[in-house]
Structure 1
Amino acid sequence: MQIKKVAVLGAGAVGSYVIWGLSQAENLSLGVIAEGERAGRLKENGCLINGQVYRPEVWTPKEAHGADLLIVSLKYGALAGALDSIAQAVGEHTIVMSLMNGVDSEEIIAQKVNPDNILHALIKVASHKEENGYCFNPETTIGIIFGEIKPPFESERVQAVCTLFENAQIHFRVTDYIKEEMWSKFRLNVCNNLPQAILGAGVGCYNDSTHMKAISEGLKKELEAIAQAKGIDIGKADKSSSHGSAVLPKTRYSTLQDLDAGRHTEIDMFSGALMRMGKELGIPTPYNEYTYHIIKALEEKNDGKFDYSKDTQESTWSK
Structure 2
Amino acid sequence: MSINSVYFLGLGALGAKYAASFYEYKPEIVKVIVNQKRKVRYKNEKIYVNEKEYDFDYITPEDKYNIPDYIFLVVKSSHLDQAIEDLKPFVGENTKIISLMNGISSESILAEHFGWHRVLNAVAYMDAIKIGNKVAYGSIGKIVFGHVNNEFQEELTELHQFMLDANIPNELSQEIQKAQWAKYLINVVANQLSFILEFQYKEFVSNESVLKLMDMVADEVISVGNALGIEIGEEEIKRMKSTLTKVDGEAKTSMLQDREAKRNSEVDEFSGEIIKLGKEVGVKTPCNELIYNMVKAIEKTY
Fold in common (TM above 0.5): yes
Partner-residue secondary structure (3-state), 1:88: helix
Q: Report if aligned partners of 1:198, 1:295 keep a CA contact under 8 Å in 2.
A: yes
Q: Report if aligned partners of 2:129, 2:251 keep a CA contact under 8 Å in 1.
A: no
- Number of the residue aligned with 2:219: 221
Matching residue's letter, 2:26: E
- Number of the residue aligned with 2:265: 265
Q: Report if aligned partners of 1:99, 1:123 keep a CA contact under 8 Å in 2.
A: yes
- Number of the residue aligned with 2:204: 206
Q: Distance in 2 between matches of 1:28 and 1:298?
A: 44
Identity within the alignment, %: 27
Deviates further, 26-35 or 276-285:
26-35
Counterpart check, 1:46 vs 2:31: no
Q: Distance in 2 between matches of 1:132 and 1:86?
A: 23
How many residues are matched? Answer: 299
Partner-residue secondary structure (3-state), 1:120: strand
Q: Distance in 2 between matches of 1:267 and 1:274?
A: 10
Q: CA deviation at 1:247?
A: 2.4
Higher Rg of the two aligned structures:
1
Matching residue's letter, 2:201: V
Q: CA deviation at 1:103?
A: 0.6
Q: TM-score, normalised by structure 1?
A: 0.87
- Number of the residue aligned with 1:286: 286
Matching residue's letter, 1:141: I
Partner-residue secondary structure (3-state), 1:262: coil
Q: CA deviation at 1:237?
A: 7.6
How do 1:154-165 and structure 2 match up within 5 A? Answer: 155-165=153-163
Query: Which one has a larger percent helix, Structure 1 or Structure 2?
Result: 2
Q: Distance in 1 between matches of 2:66 and 2:234?
A: 37
Q: Report if aligned partners of 1:177, 1:236 keep a CA contact under 8 Å in 2.
A: no
Q: Distance in 2 between matches of 1:96 and 1:78?
A: 16
Q: CA deviation at 1:102?
A: 0.9
Partner-residue secondary structure (3-state), 1:169: coil
Q: Distance in 2 between matches of 1:53 and 1:116?
A: 36
For residues 101-137 of structure 1, the C-alpha deviation after alignment (integer angstroms, 9 at most, x for no partner) is 2111101212221121111111011000247711112
Which 5+ residue runs of structure 1 have no aligned equivalent? 304-319
Which 5+ residue runs of structure 2 have no aligned equivalent? none
Q: Report if aligned partners of 2:127, 2:248 keep a CA contact under 8 Å in 1.
A: no
Partner-residue secondary structure (3-state), 2:300: helix
How do 1:52-131 and structure 2 match up within 5 A? Answer: 52-61=52-61, 66-130=67-131
Matching residue's letter, 2:117: D
- Number of the residue aligned with 1:195: 193
Q: Report if aligned partners of 1:65, 1:91 keep a CA contact under 8 Å in 2.
A: no
Q: TM-score, normalised by structure 2?
A: 0.91
Q: Report if aligned partners of 2:9, 2:73 keep a CA contact under 8 Å in 1.
A: yes
Partner-residue secondary structure (3-state), 1:176: coil
Q: Distance in 2 between matches of 1:294 and 1:16?
A: 31
Query: Aligned-pair RMSD on alpha carbons?
Result: 2.3
C-alpha spacing 1:132/1:151, structure 2 compared with 1 (3 Å): closer
For residues 184-224 of structure 1, the C-alpha deviation after alignment (integer angstroms, 9 at most, x for no partner) is 00001111111121011223333444332232112111111
Q: Report if aligned partners of 1:6, 1:67 keep a CA contact under 8 Å in 2.
A: yes
Q: CA deviation at 1:27?
A: 7.0
Q: Distance in 2 between matches of 1:236 and 1:199?
A: 24
Q: Distance in 2 between matches of 1:27 and 1:256?
A: 32
Q: Report if aligned partners of 1:225, 1:283 keep a CA contact under 8 Å in 2.
A: yes
Deviates further, 75-84 or 202-211:
202-211
- Number of the residue aligned with 2:21: 21
How do 1:232-271 and structure 2 match up within 5 A? Answer: 232-234=230-232, 238=236, 242=240, 243-244=242-243, 246-271=246-271
- Number of the residue aligned with 1:182: 180
C-alpha spacing 1:27/1:291, structure 2 compared with 1 (3 Å): closer
Q: Report if aligned partners of 2:77, 2:102 keep a CA contact under 8 Å in 1.
A: no
Matching residue's letter, 2:243: G
Deviates further, 219-228 or 108-117:
108-117
Q: Report if aligned partners of 1:258, 1:265 keep a CA contact under 8 Å in 2.
A: yes
